[in-house]
Amino acid sequence: MQKIRQKLALVTYSLSLLFRKSPRLSALFIILIAIQGLLPTLSVMASIRLGNIVSSSDHSELLTVAICWALTFVFPGVLAPIISTLQSILNQSATYLTQQMVMEAACRIEDLKIIEKPDIHDNLEVLSREAAHRPLNLLVNLVDIFRGLLTLLSLSLVLASVVWWLPLAFLLPLIPVTFTVALSQIDIFRALLGKGTAARLIRYYLSVLLDVKLAKEIRIFRSASFFFTKHSQAFNELENELNQVRRKQLLRPQPWNLLYLVCALGVMYWFVDYIQAGKISVGGLLGTIQSISYFGLSCQWMVYSFANVGVCFSFFSRLRDLESLAQEKHYSLTKIPTLNEIRFENVSFSYQDGHPVLSNINLVIHAGDHLSIVGENGAGKSTLVKLLCRLYQPTSGRITWNEIDVASIDIITWHRRISAIFQDFGHYNMTVQDNVTFKTNMSEFEQQRFLLACQQAQFPLEFPHEADNFIGKEYSGTELSGGQWQRLALARALFSDGELIILDEPTSAMDPRVETELFSRFSELVQGRTSVMITHRLSAIKNSTRIVVLKQGEIIESGTSAELEAKRGEYYTLLNLQRSQYDSYSDDDRVAI
């Protein structure tokens, strides 16, 4: 009983998505489908009446019945384009709503650790890929089922008027056929989901070979054959799994199809004997033959429609699960005071594999501080700032804002108080203004802030990079260099008015001249804000109010540049390594650099 309730709840959930946006159009659509489903039976009834009139001596109603019979053939052609148009409108609405729900549910998952789980990742991949056509599939198949059921039920009444058990002889054997075909379709869907990694790899290897940005390396390293092989291996892995399911799909319904064939042959044998005995009128004969023909076609369509509906419901079941996973959290605080200090209190963090990335981090960031975090690759620097952004939740310990646990602060409120540029910053194939502001409408004040942010990040709004020009070749825009993309990302971080700005390798792709100028004006760029910066350019952070050195996930040194140099520890070693690399160049080399 519990499973039946769950299935009914899923059906209700799916139908509400299909018809939620346009209830009146949905009602009209259902009425027209009902009429379309009843027309075959009306045609049969008219043909029975017409046959009986022709075989009798009284032809007074012949013209009227003949016109009615003809109309049952004309009306389907009249209704078809109307139903098709309504179906297209409803599908477009359902597709839009479904895609919105997938995007909203994915964005409500605050902890990246959840999104990075393989099963969640595969689920998101399937939902994003199939959101464009699963609503249409469900709508089409539900229409076929609704129309088919009306046709079968009304035809069953006609056949039952000849002999009561005739519709049962056709319907009962179809139940196991429908059930087995549906199971096979669902097995294929689950196999595709279970092999989500292989399916993603197939698309990835294809995208690598078609990526314009990778074309140079593909040709220089002659790696095309390598990716061809990888693509084939992933494809064969997926294909082998699907072939096993397809064999079941082919063989599973055959015993029940044989039973259906035996029943149909038995009915035909009885029907011939019934005709020979003269137990049926001419009209009854015509109507019964026509009914059996319609009955068989409707049954065949409904078997596969029922099977496909099962797959569609699996999609909507996963969408509902994603929504449940992404339920909005209710935080105790929606307003927070102006920043005095941020504290990391015994904060540790591990990724999915359980390997500790950060261990017992204790750190205080005061308002107005310009903190720099340094260390070798893999020391945990980027993870630390992602915890500060609340993109991950600490495995243990806590982070506080003015002694308030940040986990209790509304996530939207929190993100409004911070800004960031990440090492793996986004490239958005949109206009320059869209890239920086993410706003469709801006006030005059926001427009001035946009212009100032671009100026501070040294991204000149000149041809071909004006504010309203598209960038990126995806939509025939102008392609940017790596440094230009990074300056645009820096402008995006500076445009935000958050009190805390986080800069993770903000100049790694820029040329030395621009980088030097930006660092020389760093205090101006972050004026009035608290900043946390990660950089490998140690010569650029001497003016930081404090420097923290991370090694293997632990803070091993903290202080000003002068204090850390005097300690002659890890910072001193890293700084001298960079100095020695620079000192190894001749004067001519330095000029060239």
Tokens at 485, concatenated = 């993309």
Contact between residue 189 and residue 236 where contact means Cβ atoms under 8 Å apart:
no
Report the pLDDT value the prediction gives residue 582, as an integer from 0 to 100. Answer: 62
Length of the chain: 593
Residue for token pair 């099962």: 310
16-40: burial string, b at 16+ Cβ within 10 Å, e else: ebbbeebeeebeebeebbebbbbbb
Report the pLDDT value the prediction gives residue 194, as an integer from 0 to 100. Answer: 55
C-alpha 336/C-alpha 21 separation (Å) is 38
C-alpha 80/C-alpha 82 separation (Å) is 6
Apex 465 CA angle, 463 and 468, nearest 5? 105
**Phi/psi of residue 366, nearest 5 degrees:** -90, 155
CA neighbor of 562 nearest in space, from 552, 574, 549, 571: 571
Contact between residue 483 and residue 509 where contact means Cβ atoms under 8 Å apart:
yes
Residue ranges of domains in the chain, CATH in brackets: 2-190+248-325 (1.20.1560.10), 335-417+538-585 (3.40.50.300)
pLDDT digits 0-9 by tens, 185-224: 666 666 655 555 677 778 788 878 877 677 767 877 788 8
Report the pLDDT value the prediction gives residue 195, as an integer from 0 to 100. Answer: 55
396 bridge partner residues: 348
Contact between residue 342 and residue 388 where contact means Cβ atoms under 8 Å apart:
yes
C-alpha 590/C-alpha 593 separation (Å) is 5
**Residue 139 CB partners (closer than 8 Å, separation 6+):** 18, 87, 90, 91, 94
Question: Which stretch of DSSP H or E encloses residue 81?
Answer: helix 62-108
Distance of alpha carbon 342 from the chain centroid: 35
122-131: burial string, b at 16+ Cβ within 10 Å, e else: bbbbbbeebb
* DSSP character string of 261-297: HHHHHHHHHHHHHHHHTT-S-HHHHHHHHHHHHHHHH
Tokens at 76, concatenated = 């389907």
C-alpha 40/C-alpha 291 separation (Å) is 8
**Residue 236 CB partners (closer than 8 Å, separation 6+):** none
3-class secondary-structure state, position 370: strand
Question: Which stretch of DSSP H or E encloses residue 404?
Answer: strand 404-405
Strands 500-504 and 530-534: parallel
- For the chain, the distance separating the N- and C-terminal CA atoms, rounded to the nearest angstrom, is 76
Apex 401 CA angle, 398 and 407, nearest 5? 45
Widest distance between CA atoms in the chain: 121
CA neighbor of 498 nearest in space, from 441, 535, 449: 449
CA neighbor of 347 nearest in space, from 357, 335, 336, 337: 357
Tokens at 474, concatenated = 């995806």
CA neighbor of 401 nearest in space, from 420, 411, 414: 414
* Beta-carbon count within 10 A of 524 CB: 9
Residue for token pair 């969640």: 120
Tell me if the pTM is above 0.85.
no
Residues of the chain scoring pLDDT < 70? 1-4, 178, 182, 184-197, 212, 216, 249, 296, 300, 307, 326-329, 474-475, 582-593
Tokens at 85, concatenated = 């148009």
Report the pLDDT value the prediction gives residue 568, as an integer from 0 to 100. Answer: 93
CA distances from 341 to 402, 403, 405, 554, 561 (A): 5, 8, 12, 21, 22
C-alpha 95/C-alpha 97 separation (Å) is 5
3-class secondary-structure state, position 476: coil
CA neighbor of 187 nearest in space, from 234, 142, 236, 246: 246
Question: Which stretch of DSSP H or E encloses residue 492?
Answer: helix 482-495
pLDDT digits 0-9 by tens, 469-526: 888 776 677 888 888 999 999 999 999 888 999 999 888 888 888 888 888 888 788 8
C-alpha torsion sign, points 69, 72, 75, 80:
negative
C-alpha 44/C-alpha 41 separation (Å) is 5
CA neighbor of 529 nearest in space, from 492, 504, 558, 503: 503
